[in-house]
Structure 1
Amino acid sequence: MNTPDPVIQAAWVTIVSKSRTLLEAVEAALKNAGLPPLAWYDALLEIEKAGPDGLRPFELKERLLLPQYGTSRLLDRMAKAELIERRDCDDDGRGQIVCISDKGQAVRQAMWPVYARVLSEKIEDKLSPEDAAQLVKLLSKL
């Protein structure tokens, strides 16, 4: 077995730990503001971007890279909170289309300033635009 170079190991640990730290900061800020978790924002954004035709749950699953059961539970919770609407799919008698509700749009819009503030505090305030572009370039290689 090939052991990665210590610098590669350090890069991995840094990527994982900083990613976790940033995600936890966003989650905490959303919770403190009385808003749903970040996964709800991501789902609402993808459903909203799909427009009035909505998305099939499997399409959302692919866009969010969630397992099927995770997507189903997420959609169940969001439907219970009336943030999404489920409609029968005309093409498939068993299928559904998921659309964002007016309430869902309002919640997603309320979440963005909180999310954006954390991005500004944790990234924009610490990295120059050039540093951020370099980070994107480096991470894109992975």
Structure 2
Amino acid sequence: MSQPSTAFVDRPAVEQHLAPTGLVSEWRDLMAKHAAVTCALEKELQNRHHIGLSEFETLDRLVDAACETYRMSDLACESHLSQSALSRAVARLEREGLVSRSMCADDRRSISICLTDKGRAVHATATPTHREVLARTLR
């Protein structure tokens, strides 16, 4: 078994090399801000409207698309969610009657998502809360 190295390590030089640079500090600040905003949104949307942030963001994208149906693959490309996280969010929305899923008419391999009237109503009710939290946490 080999013995641990007892070579001299210049601690200040190593710490200086590992100390956050401007870019690393900016990255950490951005991640901290993202975590704070995400947590605040999740808490308020859940408490006031019984909807998670992923579900709200999915509804928000569907409303912004302003089309009758939306391909799941297109939504995945525009969303911050992974394919599996988006699938879970859409499944939860479908269980609550906020969206419906169907096979695409022109491509049977694709799934289309359609916002329901109930989904539009939940989105309309939750949007002021979403925007209020963004204004409060991003400033």
The SS at the match of 1:93 is coil
Q: Larger RCO: Structure 1 or Structure 2 (Cα < 8 Å, ≥ 6 residues apart)?
A: 2
In structure 2, do the counterparts of structure 1 residues 116 and 65 end up closer, same or farther at CA, with 3 Å as the change threshold?
A: closer
- Give the Cα separation in 2 of the matches to 1:13 and 1:95: 38
Q: Give the corresponding residue for 1:77.
A: 92
Counting aligned pairs with the same residue, the percent is: 25
Q: Give the corresponding residue for 2:36.
A: 21
- Give the Cα separation in 2 of the matches to 1:76 and 1:122: 29
In structure 2, do the counterparts of structure 1 residues 114 and 90 end up closer, same or farther at CA, with 3 Å as the change threshold?
A: same
Query: Is there any run of 5+ residues in structure 2 with no aligned partner, and where?
Result: 1-16
Instruction: After the TM superposition, list the runs of 4 or more consecutive aligned residues in structure 1 that deviate by more than 3 angstroms.
Output: 2-5
Equivalent residue for 1:47, pick from 41, 56, 62: 62
Amino acid at match of 1:97: S
Q: Give the corresponding residue for 1:92.
A: 107
Equivalent residue for 1:11, pick from 18, 23, 26: 26
2:49/2:126 contact within 8 Å kept: no
1:36 partnered with 2:51: yes
Give the TM-score normalised by the residue count of structure 2. Answer: 0.77
1:48/1:54 contact within 8 Å kept: no
Q: CA RMSD in A?
A: 2.0
Give the length in aligned residue pairs: 123
Equivalent residue for 2:134, pick from 112, 115, 119: 119
Answer with 1 or 2: which has the greater Rg.
2
- Give the Cα separation in 1 of the matches to 2:118 and 2:83: 25
Query: Is there any run of 5+ residues in structure 1 with no aligned partner, and where?
Result: 127-142
1:88/1:94 contact within 8 Å kept: yes
